[in-house]
Amino acid sequence: MNIHGIKATEYPAAGYETKKAKRNVSERNFAEQMAQASGNTSTVTLHGADEGTGDITVSAWADVVSGSSVSVYKTQDFNQENPVYKVKIWDKSGNVTERMVDASKIDPKNCDTAQMYVYASHLKESGKGSFEDTVLKTVIAKAVKNAEQRSYGSWNFSEKTDWVKIVNDIMQSEYRYGDLKSYMEWKQFSGLLEQ
pLDDT in tens, 105-150: 999 999 988 898 899 899 888 888 776 777 778 878 887 776 666 5
pTM value is 0.69
- What is the distance between the alpha carbons of residues 153 and 34, in angstroms, rounded to a whole number? 20
What is the three-class DSSP state of 68?
A: strand
Which amino acid, 5? G
Q: Which amino acid makes up residue 107?
A: D
In tens, the pLDDT along 10-46 reads 444 444 343 444 444 444 444 455 455 545 555 555 5
Give the pLDDT confidence of 38-73 residue by residue, as tens digits. Answer: 455 555 555 566 667 788 889 888 777 677 788 999
Q: How far apart are CA 80 and CA 156, in angstroms?
A: 31
Kindly report the average pLDDT of the chain as a whole number: 75
Burial of 117 (0-12, 13-18, 19+ CB in 10 A): buried
Does the pLDDT at position 174 exceed 60? Answer: yes
